[in-house]
Amino acid sequence: MSGKIMTQKNIKRFFNGAVCTILCLVLLLLIGCTGRMHEAPADISTDITDVTGDIDTDSDADRDSNANDNIPAENSADAIPADPYDGPCPYTITTMPVVVIYTGSKAISGTKDYTEGWISFYTRDGSYDAEKLPAGFRLRGNASRGMEKRSYRFKLEEKQNLFGLANGKEKVWTLLANHCDQSLLRNYAAFMLQRGFSGSPWSPNAMSVELYVNGIYKGVYLLAEQIKVSKDRVNISEENIDAVDTGYLVQFSAYAEENVFWIGDSMYEVKSDLSEDFDIYDEQMSFIEDYIVRCREALDKGDEEEAERLIDIDSLVAAYLTEEISRNMDSQWDSFFMQKDAGGKLVIGPLWDFDLAFGNDVRAESSQLDSYKQLFVAQGRGSVNGSEATIFELAMKNDWFRQRVKDTWNAEYERISKLADIVEEEAKAGNDAYSRNFSKWRIFGQRINQEPGEIMQLKSFDAHAEYLIQWIRNRVDWLNKEFNKPDFISKT
């Protein structure tokens, strides 16, 4: 983070100056109004503590045209007091926690550089979970960065375990907008699903919150752990980054930019630290590329013994089932992570990016009403980074891998079958807040990304949540029958 984060002392100094300015303006206003005191006053009886009715629901572009909108622009230094009073949350607490970001007059517009400010976290009862933590903020995402509702990544000055979500304290977190998922629940559902598999490595935990940025209501966001190397997240060795067989976190991504290697015409990117020695760096890049190639060759040849030696097969099964249950269109396009610790096997996961999953992509089928039918990622379907066969497509060619899929499915079916109930419970518990998001973002009926016609016809949060819940129930029921067919193991 560049520069210095605004200190409490500077914030108070700014606030004191602002108060003086406001008092002067009020005095001038009173003097100007003395000749009109006999006129009836405007109706100002609205309870100022009821923020729900007065919330800014216009897009940022339309804000100046609304004569009744007295909320300042997002990046105005006066958007919220620089040093809010200590006590109850000044914002509406509906049915989920509230997160408040303040950056003063500095816009959050960068994708690499952080904008400095602070962030506060309020629990459902309005008390602080964490108060005015110095932090840096930037935009995150690829295609989603061009959407009106932006996602954010933030880095705290000191580690925190926000709302007790993580296994330990961390600095880097994300706020996902989920703008093209009008249920706002698909990433949440997928995270809960993958976290439950016994073979899954660490996977992000998440919870929905309402977000304010510089006093402006931004809607419901998913506060999630960021995928990164640390002892409480992706726990791989960082002790000797000059070793060739060190810890590697690799992302399969069509947007790869740094530390890129190619397998065929598919791009991979190393996301963990590598040696600064150019010769060692080249050896490391060649090592991890060669290792993944050998893993793919073992699956392609059906060599179970070699695949077991190179790959954590339980993690591959857990990843396959998560992607197959969700029917994730972006499964092999971007944000597909794998990891290898020093001296260890290739572990598949953690998984990320499910806003186009669970029947939310028009490209999956001509009709989404039956999109829960058919195997999907097993057949290499979806958006694919390159023309190479996907790792799931290679694995599912083998009877022994299909047997592992069937065994894992049946062992964990009771938990999997409750996913729709978990989503339904979350939708009901946060209904007021989820619905309020669409007073801010009036997007029902619009195609923000790849929404199918069946979803574009839905005109309320309740309708979108019910569509998702029923889709999950249908999908789980269909897969349970498919995985237990007599010919599933030998079917290719």
SS (H, E, C) 13-52: HHHHHHHHHHHHHHHHHHHHHHHHCCCCCCCCCCCCCCCH
Q: Is 440 helix (H, G, I), strand (E, B) or coil?
A: helix
Taking the alpha carbons of 354, 358, 361, 365 in that order, is the dihedral positive or negative?
Answer: positive
CB 128 within 8 A of CB 97: no
Given this model, what pLDDT does residue 81 score? 41
CA dist., res. 178 & res. 55, Å (int): 20
CA dist., res. 425 & res. 429, Å (int): 6
Given this model, what pLDDT does residue 258 score? 92
Given this model, what pLDDT does residue 203 score? 95
| Conformation bin of residue 259: beta by default, left when phi > 0, alpha when psi is -120 to 50 | left
Q: What tokens appear for 286 in the block?
A: 């060649």
CA dist., res. 77 & res. 73, Å (int): 9
Residue showing tokens 């500095």: 106
CA proximity to 194, closest of 357, 345, 309, 310: 357
CA dist., res. 129 & res. 96, Å (int): 13
Residue 177 lies in a domain: no
Q: What tokens appear for 12 in the block?
A: 């108070």
Given this model, what pLDDT does residue 285 score? 97
Residue 454 lies in a domain: no
CB 352 within 8 A of CB 335: yes
Give me the tens of pLDDT residue by residue for the chain, a chain 492 residues long. 333 333 333 333 344 444 444 544 544 444 343 333 333 323 322 222 233 333 333 333 232 223 222 323 344 333 444 444 344 566 667 689 999 999 998 989 888 899 999 999 999 887 888 889 999 999 986 666 667 899 999 999 999 999 999 999 999 999 999 999 999 999 999 999 999 999 999 999 999 999 999 989 999 999 999 999 999 999 999 888 999 999 999 998 888 889 999 999 889 999 999 999 999 999 999 999 999 999 999 999 999 999 999 999 999 999 999 999 999 987 777 789 999 999 999 999 999 999 999 988 877 654 555 678 888 888 877 666 667 889 999 999 999 999 999 999 999 999 999 999 999 999 999 999 999 999 999 988 888 778 887 888 999 999 999 999 999 999 999 999 999 999 999 865
The letter for the amino acid at 260 is V
Residue 167 lies in a domain: no
In terms of DSSP H, where are the helices of 385-460?
Answer: 391-395, 399-416, 419-429, 431-440, 453-456
In terms of DSSP H, where are the helices of 152-196?
Answer: 186-196
Residue 352 lies in a domain: yes
Alpha carbon separation from 469 to 359, 422, 430, 477 (Å, rounded) = 11, 9, 15, 13
Number of domains in the chain: 1
DSSP 265: T
Q: Is 269 helix (H, G, I), strand (E, B) or coil?
A: strand
Strand partners, 211: 99, 219
* Predicted TM-score (pTM) of this structure: 0.80
CB 348 within 8 A of CB 458: no
Residue 39 lies in a domain: no
CB 408 within 8 A of CB 317: yes
Residue 124 lies in a domain: no
Residue 377, domain extent:
248-415+472-483
Residue 290 lies in a domain: yes
Residue showing tokens 């990891």: 339
The letter for the amino acid at 240 is N
Residue 337 lies in a domain: yes
CA dist., res. 190 & res. 414, Å (int): 16
